[in-house]
Chains A and B, each alone.
Chain A
Amino acid sequence: MDNNKIDKIINKYQGDASSLIQVLLEIQRENRWLPKEVLEKVSKKLKVPLSQIQHIATFYKAFSLVPRGRHEINVCTGTACHVRGSSRILDAVHRTTGVGPGETDSDLKFSLETCNCLGCCALGPVMVVDGKHHGKIAPAKAEDVLKNYD
C-alpha cells in the first residue's frame, strides 16, 4: 500500500489518536488487510504505541493481519439464519473452496467469514459474495454460485 494513501487517511482525521479505529478501518477497506509496516506508520503518525494498535487490530475480527482473497464470501450465521440451516451453507462453501470461517485459500481466491446478522432475516439463510446477496439459498445453489468466480 503506498504511503500517500496512508498519509491521506491519517490526515483526514488530523492525526487524532481517538480516531485510531476509523483509520484502521479505512486502511483495511482500501488495502483489504493491515501489513505490519502500515501499522508501524500509523503508530508513529498517531503517536499511539504499537502494542495498543496490535491490541485493537487483533481484537476485532474485521481486521486482517494476513492478505485476503480476491472474493469475500460472507455467510450469515445470525439466529434466524441458523434455525434455517446456515451451517449446511458453510459446509457447502467449505466443500467448494476448501476454506473455513476466517480462512483464505492459498491462491488468494476466496476469503470466508461468518457474520452475525445482516438485517435481512426474511431471506435466511443468506450468503453474500462481494456484496451481492444470495437469499434463501440451498447448499447446492451456494456451490453453483461460487463456481462462477475466478
Chain B
Amino acid sequence: MPGINSPAELEELRKDILLKRDPNKPCITLCSGTACQATGSEKVAAAIEQEIEKQGLEAEIDFRRTGCHGFCEKGPIVVIYPEEICYLQVQPDDVEEIVSQTILAKKVIDRLLYVDPITGEKIVHESEIPFYKNQMRLLIGNNTKIDPKSIDDYLALGGYSALSKSLFEMTPEQVLEEIKKANLRGRGGGGFPAGMKWETTRNAPEEVKYVIVNAHEGEPGAFMDRALFTGNPHSVLEGLIIGAYAIGSHQGYIYTRHDTPQLIDNIAIALTQAKEYGLLGENILGSGFSFNVEVHLDIGIFVSGESSALMKAIEGRTPEPRPKYIHTSVSGIWEKPSNLNNVETWANVPPIINRGSEWFSSIGTEQSKGTKLISLAGNISNTGVVEVPMGTSLRKVIYDIGGGIPNGKKVKAVHIGGPLGGSIPESLLDTPVDFDELAKVGAPMGAGGMIIMDEDTCMVDVARYFLNFLTDESCGKCVPCREGIRQMLKILTNITEGSGKEGDIELLEELSEVTRDASLCALGGGASNPVLTTIRYFRDEYEAHIKEKKHPAKKQEL
C-alpha cells in the first residue's frame, strides 16, 4: 500500500473500499471486548470461522471481530448485519444454527434474543434494546461496526476525513478556535477546557512540544477508555494528530498500561497502518505536516494518571507528581510544553471538526457539552459501557439503561468518579451528568466510573475501601497525602471494626481538610471526597457504628 499523498487520493481510496463492499452481504460481528473474551468470545469466534469454512461460505459471509459493544452483562454478543439482528450470550453450540437459520434461511432464532424483563417482549434489533435505545452513542457506537485491526473499516465509516479537512481547509488557529468554541472539556477528571489547554501549549515559547494520550485508566470500576481505545483506536489517533497540528507538535506519546494486551496490540497495528497509509509520519497526506507517535507502556499505579507524574514516567523515572505552579502544558516531558488529554477527549475531536462546534455544543448542558462515556457497574442489572448526552439524569442511567438493581433491592447510593469521587444517596438521583452539578453535590465526575450500591452496602466500609486503595496508590512524596490518608484509614478501620470513638467523625473532617488543602496533587486533594460525602449523606451510619456498635446496612452487631 503506497502512502496517500492528497485529500483527493484519500477520497479515492475510500470510494474503492466502499465499492468493494456490498452493503447487503451478510456480516457476522462478534464482540471481543475484555468481558466478552472472559465469557468465551474466543471459542465462539473459532466456531464461527469453522462453520463458515465447513459450509464453504467464505465468499458469501463476512466475519468481523469487533471491540466492546458495551452490553457486557449479556456477552458474548453477536450482531448480524445488514438486518442488525442481535444475539446475546452466544455459545459455540449456537453457531451452526446462526449460520444455517439466520444467515441462510433468514430466520431469527428466538431463544438468543434479548427479552425485556418487564414486558417479556423479545427484541430483535440491537438499537431497539432499551440498554442501547436510551443512549447517544456518538463515540462508542462505531465499535460494533469495525474491526479495530482494520484501518479500512474505519475509512469506510468516513475515518480520517476530519484530519484531511483540518490539514487542507483549516489553519491550526482555526482548528484550535473550533475546539474552543465547542467548549470541549477534558474527560479525564478535571473537566478543564481542552481548547484552552491546547492554546497554552501552542503559545509556550519552546520550539519542541509534545502531545500525549492518557490511556492509563487506573480508576477501579472504570473501563470505558479501554473499551473505546481498544475497539476504535483510529478515532483516538485521528484526534491526536489533529490536536498536534493545532498545537504545533511533531511528537506524540500514547501512555498506557502494560497489562492490557489487546489494547497494546490494537494500538500498535493502528499506528503501523496509519503510517503505511501516509496518515502518520512525515508529510501527512502531502500537507507538509509531520507527526510521529511513540507508545509508552507503564505499570500504571493510580497516581501515574496524574499529568506531571505520567510525564516523569515517560522520562523513565518514578511517577511522582510535582507542584504545578508551572503547568505541564508549559513545562512537561523533559521540560518541554506537553499537552495531555484523556482517550475520550481526543476521540471527541474528529466529530467536532467534521460536524462543527455548533453541532457539538447543541448536545449537553450549558457548561458541559457533548456526550459522556460511563462505566456502569456494581449492583446493577446491566453492567457495561454507556454513552449519554451530558445532562442525562443519574436516574435515567440507572433505570432506563442500567435496568435497575437486581434481586429486587433498592438503590442506596451511587459512587461517581472513583477513589477521588463521592457517594451520593438515592434522593439525589435526579442530578444530571454534568461536571459542575456533580461537583456541587460532592461527587465530581472524574473519568466516568459509576458504581451502583444497593441497600446492603455499608457506606463506612465504602469510604474505608477507597482510602485503603489510596494508601497503596499514593506515591508517598508529600506528607499530607501519605500520612493524612493513612490516619483517616486507621480511624475508618476502627469504626468498621467496632472500636470507633466519639469525636472520630470530627477528626475525620479535620484531617480531610488538611489533606485536601496541603497535598501536592489531585490524589491527595480528592482523597477525602469519599469520606466527606459519606459523612455528609450517611452520618447516621457512622453514628450507629460508633455509638451503638451496629452495622445498620447489614443489620448486624459489630
Contact = CB atoms under 8 A, between A and B. Distances in A.
Max chain B C-beta neighbours (<10 A), residue from A52, A61, A78, A126? A78
A88 B451 CA distance: 19
Contacts of B384: 122
A58 to B, nearest CB: 10
B451 A83 contact: yes
Contacts of A84: 378-379
Given A119-B226, A122-B35, A122-B383, A77 B299 contact: no
A77 B220 CA distance: 8
Contacts, number: 110
A21 B383 contact: no
B299 A79 contact: no
A100 to B, nearest CB: 14
Interface of B is mostly: mixed
Interface in A112-141: 115-124, 126, 133, 135
B322 to A, nearest CB: 16
A56 interface: yes
Nearest to B376: A121
A79 B449 contact: yes
Contact of A60 (B227, B299, B375): B299
A30 to B, nearest CB: 13
Interface in A59-118: 59-63, 77-80, 82-84, 115-118
Contacts of A115: 259
A25 B297 contact: yes
B398 to A, nearest CB: 14
Given A18-B315, A79-B377, A135-B39, A118 B34 contact: yes
B170 interface: no
Contacts of B297: 22, 25
A20 interface: yes
A8 interface: no
Contact of A133 (B38, B227, B298): B38
Interface residues of B, number: 49
B465 A79 contact: yes
Contact of A80 (B221, B466, B469): B221
A79 B220 contact: yes
A21 B34 contact: no
Interface in B313-361: 313-318
A147 interface: no
A20 B258 CA distance: 14
A74 to B, nearest CB: 10
B223 A117 contact: yes
A119 to B, nearest CB: 4
A122 B221 contact: no
A22 B465 CA distance: 31
Nearest to B419: A79
B318 A122 contact: no
Interface in B10-39: 34-35, 37-39
A126 B35 CA distance: 11
A85 to B, nearest CB: 10
A121 B221 contact: yes
B487 interface: no
Nearest to A60: B299
A79 B316 contact: no
Nearest to B71: A122
B467 interface: no
A22 B297 CA distance: 7
Contact of A121 (B223, B258, B299, B302): B223
A122 B318 CA distance: 33
A119 B299 contact: no
A60 B221 contact: no
Given A79-B451, A80-B451, A122 B220 contact: no
A19 B294 CA distance: 12
A20 B38 contact: no
Contacts of A19: 316
A122 B377 CA distance: 7
Contacts of B218: 116
Given A21-B316, A60-B301, A83-B379, A119 B223 contact: yes
Interface string B215-247: 000111111001100000000000000000000
Contacts of B453: 83
Contacts of A18: 314-316
Contacts of B316: 16-21
Contacts of A63: 299
Nearest to B263: A119
Contacts of A55: 318
A17 B317 CA distance: 9
Interface in B423-476: 449, 451, 453, 457, 462, 465-466, 469, 472-473, 475
Given A79-B418, A117-B223, 10 more contacts: A21-B299, A56-B318, A62-B259, A78-B220, A79-B466, A115-B259, A117-B221, A118-B38, A120-B37, A123-B72
28 contacts: A17-B316, A52-B317, A60-B301, A79-B220, A79-B378, A79-B451, A79-B465, A80-B451, A83-B378, A83-B451, A83-B457, A84-B378, A117-B221, A119-B223, A119-B227, A120-B34, A120-B72, A120-B223, A121-B72, A121-B223, A121-B375, A121-B377, A123-B39, A124-B377, A124-B383, A133-B37, A135-B38, A135-B39
